[in-house]
Amino acid sequence: MPNNAAASMRKGSTVQKVILPGAKSTKAANKKKDEDEGVDAADGWDEWTHGKALIKPPDQLELTEAGLKEEITRILTANNPHAPQNIVRYSFKERSYKPTSAVDQMAVHFVLEGSLLHQDSDEACRLRAKEGLPEETATVDTGAEPDEEKPETLATLVEDGGEVEEAGEEDRPDSAASKTDRKEPKVTNQFNFSERASQTLNNPLRERSCQTEPPPRSIFTATATQWEIYDAYVEELQKQEKNKEKQKASKKDNDKSKKKTMLMETQTDDITKVVKASKIFERMVNQNTFDDIAQDFKYFEDASDEFRDQEGTLLPLWKFQYDKAKRLSVTALCWNKKYQDLFAVGMGSYDFSKQGRGMLVYYSLKNSAFPEYIYPTHSGVLCLDIHEQHSYLVAVGFYDGCVAVYKLKEKGFEPMYKSSAKTGKHTDPVWQVRWQNDDMDNNHNFYSVSSDGRVVSWTLVKNELVFTDIIRLSLNGAVSEGPEQQPGIAYGTSFDFHKQIDYLFLVGTEEGKIHKCSKTYSSQFLETYDAHSMAVDAIKWNHFHPKVFISCSSDWTVKIWDHTINTPLFTFDLNAAVGDVSWSPYSSTVFAAVTTDGTVHVFDLSINKYEAICQQLVVAKKTKLTHIEFNPIYPIIIVGDDRGYVSSLKLSPNLRKKPKGKKGQEQPKGPDMEVAKMEKLLSLLREPEHSTV
Amino acid sequence: MAGTGEGKKEEADYKRLHSFPLIRNTGAAGVPLPPSHTDMPEEMRVETMELCVTACEKFATNNESAAKMIKESMDKKFGSSWHVVIGEGFGFEVTHEVKNLLYMFFGGSLAVCVWKCS
């Protein structure tokens, strides 16, 4: 209140000073008078300058002294005279109108915002800086003075309406606004704030929907009537009666019919239906498992051969083995001429104290895990041969002297033909069998050689095996006519037929001799070569050159012969008993031999006449290699050992190198070239000995 | 039909004989019937048939109650929604879910059709 009073006082004075012509109400005048009287000290400055010249408004009420001295008492109460006192509200509780006591009694008479600033305050400093008044002497009030007039004028103008209080009130926002607008456009607003917002990326929405198929429905139509129901029952009863009769009748036949149904069931449950599919599947699995081997088989060429000059290597590929034939040793190998991935393996034993069962199995390169065909035999297999044209026919010679022919087309484990004691079977182990061309009547026939000294021709006639003795071997060269001359027998261990000359064949014997025989002359040998000091294990004609053949023996040697010459052309000592030897199908000068120390020897006479170009140990120590065979097409060989394993090996490029034309001339291809190659070799040998040839 | 002329003795006979429940489906004798006769699986069929027999015997005079009982039991056992019609003579054509239809005669004069279609 004192503040207010002071402010109003000053206001009053200014009004007096500046605005003279303004009309004044009595109320205002009274007020002014009160102020003037009460606070003269404050206005002393004014009075001092202007003297005591009192200016009275013309319409001022002239009062007498008494009137002036009269005391008019005014009592200020807290009651608002303008506030209504008879407000009633409906009370729902009492269901009647009730006066409300809560009336707003407050009336604002006057409001004035102060414009004084403490001179040390921040705002004052700022203001000063803005107006360029560095001196502290300058009062803040002076700066604010000019604009104070405006609100005052306004206030006084409104005063005419008679409501000072309200004018003041109205004054406030106006003045404040105008002040800030003009002078401090950039006063920092303490409520100023900045809003920052960010929005994260929303995951995109995706619609998924599916529809299920409704359960299948169908429509059913029928009519239920009494007669239909009746008919149905009658029919059913008749049926039942019939069934009863049938059952009585069928009880007798029951046993028979049961058997029939059983048979039917077993037929339908035949598992052989999936045989083909499962076979394909097995091969697929194997191909996957041994993929790297298959890749090697097809594409790998030993690059190091280029730097090795002449020597080559053998790359082991698949290994074939059958669990049930584990104890048996490989006694024969033969490739199928028609299906070049298929080969037959004869299993038996060379140990004469451990003879027993044998086995004939077929493997395919496409499935190294399990044989394609399996034929268990009672006696050990010692030799076999697959027919060249009819590749399903395989002739087998057994330890017990029997020969047999198996036909792959036939089901079951029994051979199609088998010799018996009646039909001229050998009395000793059969060491070699070999198919021959069909005879005049187009019957298949094959030859066999055995330790009993006989070479027998077998002919397949309808359903029996007809035998013909071709020759009986004897020690003395002269063939014994009488069957009783036991001591004269020479034990045949191997033979081979000439590729071109049909009648000509060679027989190797246990005592190391090789006899050249003819089918037509059963009484004598054409020639006898004193070849080896031990049994001749294998004897083979060259694939290309008609005169050359090779023989190997347990006396550690391999010998190459010209059948027209009595002495060997070449002799190679391999430092171990030689189990088998085989000419390569692609070159006349390449052959391979296996020895009992587990080594494969590959020779190429055109490259080295004295040493093997590859000697490689291919099986574990103490395992004896028994047989070797070249694949007719692919550059691989298979070797069998005495533990029943068959290993396939790939020949490195050096081992199947074609000879280069040394003087830049194009060499003729084909068999002629091979013959020429061999001939060249032979001529080199012959010249010192047979200068006349 | 043959028995029409034979008199009432036979009629009594057939009432006795024809009291067993007779399911209309592909007969054992292999008589070719319309494809959509009773096609429920064996187990379900037997159960439903027994239920129908029970219901019909229980409410021998009130087919509506019997139908209601069958319907409610079937709804509980095999899921909704089952429909049942019981009567001595009526014709119908209904759409039913495959393997959920039973059409049988019972007691010589009643036909019961139970099917599911939700």
Return d(Cα B87, Cα A231) in angstroms, integer.
Answer: 17
- Which residues 166-225 in chain A show a CB within 8 A of chain B? 215-225
Residue A256 lies in a domain: no
Q: How confident is the model at residue B73 (pLDDT cuts 50, 70, 90)?
A: very high
pLDDT at A565 over 50: yes
pLDDT of A145: 45
Residue A188 lies in a domain: no
Residue A94 lies in a domain: yes
Residues A385, A334 contacting (CB under 8 angstroms): yes
- Residue A97's SS3 state is strand
pLDDT of A8: 43
For chain A, what percent of residues have pLDDT higher than 90?
Answer: 2
For residues A43-51, average pLDDT: 53
For residues A423-429, average pLDDT: 83
Q: b/e map of A272-287 (b: 16 or more CB within 10 Å)?
A: eeeeeeeeeeeeeebe
CA distance A230 to chain B (A): 7
Among the three residues A149, A183, A217, which one is the final residue of a domain in this structure? A183
Q: How many CB pairs lie under 8 A apart between chains A and B? A: 83
Q: CB of B32 within 8 Å of any CB in chain A?
A: no
Closest residue in B to A239 (Cα) is B29
Return d(Cα A596, Cα A627) in angstroms, integer.
Answer: 10
pLDDT at A96 over 60: yes
Among the three residues A131, A166, A183, which one is the final residue of a domain in this structure? A183
pLDDT at A607 over 70: yes
Domain span at residue A140 reads: 86-183
Residue A191 lies in a domain: no
Q: How confident is the model at residue A452 (pLDDT cuts 50, 70, 90)?
A: confident
Residues with Cβ within 8 Å of residue A323, at least 6 apart in sequence: none
CA distance B73 to chain A (A): 22
Tokens coding A365: 């390169």
- Residue A188's SS3 state is coil
Return d(Cα A244, Cα A237) in angstroms, integer.
Answer: 11
CATH at residue A608? 2.130.10.10
Q: CB of A274 within 8 Å of any CB in chain B?
A: no
Helices A2-18 and A140-159: crossing angle in degrees, nearest 10, is 80
Interface contact flag, B103 A222, Cβ < 8 Å: yes
Distance, CA of A117 to chain centre: 86
Residue A209 lies in a domain: no
Residues B24, B104 contacting (CB under 8 angstroms): yes
pLDDT of B34: 43
Return d(Cα B34, Cα A571) in angstroms, integer.
Answer: 93
Whole-angstrom Cα Rg for chain A: 67
Interface contact flag, B27 A239, Cβ < 8 Å: yes
Residues with Cβ within 8 Å of residue B104, at least 6 apart in sequence: B21, B22, B23, B24, B38, B49, B52, B111, B112
Specify the number of domains making up chain A.
2
Q: Where is pLDDT greater, at A640 or A147?
A: A640
**Tens digit of pLDDT for each residue in A327-381?**
888 888 999 888 888 899 998 888 878 788 888 898 988 888 888 888 888 888 8
Cis upstream peptide for B81 (omega within 30°): yes
Which one is the CATH code of B12-26+35-116: 3.40.50.970, 3.40.50.261, 3.30.740.10, 3.40.50.300?
Answer: 3.30.740.10
Candidates A212, A213, A218, partner chain B, best to mutate (most B CBs within 10 A): A218
Residue A78 lies in a domain: no
Residues A158 and A299 in one domain: no
Closest residue in B to A221 (Cα) is B93
Average pLDDT, chain A: 76
pLDDT at B11 over 80: no
Return d(Cα A381, Cα A410) in angstroms, integer.
Answer: 20
- The total of other beta-carbon atoms located within 10 Å of residue A158's CB is 16
- The total of other beta-carbon atoms located within 10 Å of residue A553's CB is 25
pLDDT at A292 over 70: yes
Which of A215, A225, A233 has its CB closest to that of B97?
A215
**Tens digit of pLDDT for each residue in A235-272?**
888 888 899 988 888 776 665 555 555 555 555 556 77
Closest residue in B to A243 (Cα) is B29
pLDDT of A529: 86
pLDDT of A256: 58
